[in-house]
Amino acid sequence: MHFTGRTWRPPYEAHSVIIQATSGCTYGKCRFCNLYKDEGFRMSSLEEFEEDLEEIKRYQPYARRVFWTGANPFAMSYENLKLRALTVRDYLIKCQSMAMFASIRDIRDKEVWQLRKLRAMGINGLSIGTESGDDDTLALAGKGYTAADILEQCRKLDEAGIEYYFVYMTGLAGKGGGYRNAVNSAKLFSQLNPYFISVDSLTLFSDTELYRMVREGTFTPAGEKERLQELQTFIQNLRIRTHLFANSVSNFYPITAYLPKEREAVVSELQHVIDTVSEEDMEVYRKKLKGLG
Ligand code: SF4
């Protein structure tokens, strides 16, 4: 298999077959991210892609879901996505869906009719690292798009019937900003249809821009309890039926919830943690983290 550089797939794609479609990230400017610092963006050639499919076919000829790796394979043009999706189906005849990471920017250059066709070819399951739906937080994080962009582009996915998943990151707004970020993000996400939302919590790594800002005194990180309160606020303000996963290692206290059914239970559970665990113990946990969770 042609895996180069850092290979990253979300925990919920653990049962998918993985294949490298691209490597690196087309953007590379998010201030909290150190994932692809030393890698340029590269699209795997069709030859490489086919060789990998040949190998997968030998071991998992009946694979039903394939995850394309790379920070944002959806950055490929419609034609390139189409060619690769059809090629997957040539090799893996039982494949029902192909999932990948996508940025809001990657959807911009695609028309709804193209998205519909990609959906019909099996591309279904875009993990979108929105991180927030609050304009100030998006700007602070250097995401390069606004809440209005998220709304406009994801509505196109809704129209085309492509399933997508959001990421929300607690702590990203900095000290004192969690409440505003949670309310505005929940308001935005509630106008869309993310199949589920996964939650991470900001962990500062020394090779990031945000870390440099902390040292310069231009960014003050949120405390751990503020982040849990932010998560409570986010959950309380979400007005859609969705599944929330806040169980990656970057979350001090892992929770999952079906919303709105489990809203009250999970908010109380978080309150119990806030009331019984000290800020210092929570900080010790975060200092031990070695990579983005
Ligand atoms: S968060 Fe995603 S889009 Fe932003 S720089 Fe990192 S890999 Fe690229």
Q: Which residues contact 183 (CB under 8 A, 6 or more apart)?
A: 233, 237
Position 3 in a domain:
no
Neighbours of 195 (CB within 10 A): 14
The pLDDT tens digits for 168-199 are: 999 999 999 999 999 999 999 999 999 999 99
Owning domain of residue 233:
11-287
Position 248 in a domain:
yes
pLDDT band at 22 (very low <50, low <70, confident <90, very high): very high
Average pLDDT over residues 2-11: 80
Burial of 172 (0-12, 13-18, 19+ CB in 10 A): buried
Position 140 in a domain:
yes
Tell me how far apart the alpha carbons of residues 213 and 19 are, in angstroms, rounded to a whole number. Answer: 36
Position 5 in a domain:
no
Position 178 in a domain:
yes
pLDDT above 60 (res 2): yes
What's the total number of domains in the chain?
1
Point out the ligand 1 atom lying closest to the alpha carbon of residue 103. 3
Cβ–ligand 1 distance for 27 under 6 Å, the answer yes
What's the full length of the chain, in residues?
A: 293
Cβ–ligand 1 distance for 30 under 6 Å, the answer yes
- pTM of the full predicted structure? 0.94
Cβ–ligand 1 distance for 33 under 6 Å, the answer yes
For a substitution probing ligand 1, which of 33, 36, 107, 202 has the most ligand atoms within 8 Å of its CB?
Answer: 33
The pLDDT tens digits for 74-85 are: 999 999 999 999
276: domain CATH number is: 3.80.30.20
The pLDDT tens digits for 210-268 are: 999 999 999 999 999 999 999 999 999 999 999 999 999 999 999 999 999 999 999 99
Position 292 in a domain:
no
pLDDT band at 293 (very low <50, low <70, confident <90, very high): very low
Position 293 in a domain:
no
Position 266 in a domain:
yes
- How far apart are the CA of 60 and the centre of ligand 1, in A? 31
Question: Which amino acid type is present at position 30?
Answer: C
User: 86-119 as b/e, with b when 16 or more CB fall inside 10 Å?
Assistant: eebbebbeebeebbbbbbbbbbeebeeebbebbb
